[in-house]
Amino acid sequence: MGDLRVATDILEVRGLTLSFGGLLALNDISMKVEKGKICALIGPNGAGKSTVFNCISRFYFPDRGDILFEGQSVLGYSPYKIAGVGIGRTFQNIELFEQMTVLDNILVGYHLYSPVKIFRSMFFTKRLITNEVKIRSMAESIIDFLDLQPYREAMAGGIPYGVKKRVEIARALASKPKLILLDEPAAGLNKEEAEDLSWWLLDVKEELGITILVIEHDLTFVMKLADSVVVLDNGKLISQGRPGEVQKHPRVIAAYMGEGETSAEA
């Protein structure tokens, strides 16, 4: 009788290894992200977390290993094609168009789904109008979803820092991702803002059905939010599992206490 198990992993990283000159940034990293869940990628500064994101986003090409999204390797994709396969991303440093409104920043995320070519957009055709109305309606839905109505027409450069974080997430959602990579979304937020963000991210998972892989240094934030946790230290995977299990792992405790992997194994 055949194997009736259904694959539930939307992302799988296999043996990812990457060096910069003589520095080994990633050393045989393997991890999985379950579809419809929130997975946190954590570790001390320099552990290799953003490097993993940059490999998934195709900004870096690994020396060895593979990255499978929905069972298919994405190593052959250029960075600009990654959003088209269903992977969205935010960055550690906020990357908004500050001289554009919040609404226009979100509309940028929909450019992949515009069937109208640049030349044809010069003419105010019926198809262009229909497409514009559809895209604006979807953008308004995201604005409502993330409670951005008060800032809809505000210039992105002048809105509060915490709101900028939300706008960047909104723009990533506009690309209609199946998986969204969030690079330190709670960094710089106060306790109340971070708590609000955690509720929005849970809504993204539960109401929109989007899988989330998040890098975050705030362990309290991570442990409340994540379904699973992957821990890196010095470019190596040292633990992965449920939050409660990982939190008690001696190598994880040692890494966050600054003792490093050697003393953890001593």
138 and 184 together in one domain: no
pTM for the structure as a whole? 0.86
In a domain, 148, yes or no: yes
pLDDT at 65: 97
Instruction: Determine the Cα–Cα distance for residues 50 and 41; give it in Å rounded to an integer.
Output: 9
Decide which of 121, 147, 176 is a domain's last residue. 176
Q: Is position 140 within any domain?
A: yes
SS (H, E, C) 17-71: EEEECCEEEEEEEEEEEECCCEEEEECCCCCCHHHHHHHHCCCCCCCEEEEEECC
> Got the DSSP string for 120-141?
GGGS--HHHHHHHHHHHHHHHH
- Strand ranges (E), the chain: 9-20, 23-34, 38-42, 64-69, 72-73, 87-89, 179-183, 211-215, 228-233, 236-241
Q: What's residue 262's pLDDT? A: 37
Distance CA 215, CA 139 (A): 26
What string of pLDDT tens digits covers the 266 residues of the chain? 444 445 589 999 999 999 998 899 999 999 999 999 999 999 988 899 999 999 999 999 999 999 999 999 999 998 888 988 999 999 888 888 899 999 999 988 877 666 555 445 555 566 666 667 778 888 999 999 999 999 999 999 999 999 999 999 999 999 899 999 999 999 888 989 999 999 999 999 999 999 999 998 888 888 889 999 999 999 999 999 998 888 888 888 887 755 444 333 32
- Among 176, 192, 225, give the residue marking a domain's end: 176
Q: Are residues 134 and 264 in the same domain?
A: no
**Contact in structure between 183 and 53 (CB atoms under 8 Å):** yes
68 shares its domain with 80: yes
Cβ-proximal residues to 247 (8 Å cutoff; 6+ apart), any chain: 219, 223, 229
Tell me, what's the pLDDT at 4?
Answer: 43
Are residues 78 and 105 both part of a single domain?
A: no
Give pLDDT, residue 254: 80
CB-side exposure of 257: number of CA atoms within 13 Å? 13
- Considering the domain architecture, whether residues 56 and 181 belong to the same structural domain is answered as yes
Q: Which of 90, 56, 51 is nearest to 73 (CA)?
A: 56
Tally of domains in the chain: 2
Angle between helices 126-145 and 161-174 (to 10 degrees): 130
Domain containing 161 equals 97-176
* CATH number of the domain to which 234 belongs: 3.40.50.300
Residues 104 and 61 occupy one common structural domain:
no
For residues 251 and 142, state if they share a domain. Answer: no
- For residue 92, is it within any domain? no
Q: What is the pLDDT of residue 247?
A: 82
Query: Is the residue at 91 inside a domain?
Result: no
User: What is the pLDDT at residue 123?
Assistant: 55
203 and 263 part of one domain = yes
Residue 57 sits in the same domain as residue 124: no
Q: Do residues 163 and 195 share a domain?
A: no
Residues 82 and 181 reside in one and the same domain:
yes
Q: Which of 161, 176, 191 is the last residue of a domain?
A: 176
**123 vs 199: CA distance, rounded Å:** 43
In this structure, is residue 242 part of a structural domain?
yes
- Domain-embedded: residue 62: yes
In the 8-state DSSP scheme, what is residue 112? G
Give residue 244's pLDDT: 85
Tell me, yes or no, whether 221 and 115 share the same domain: no
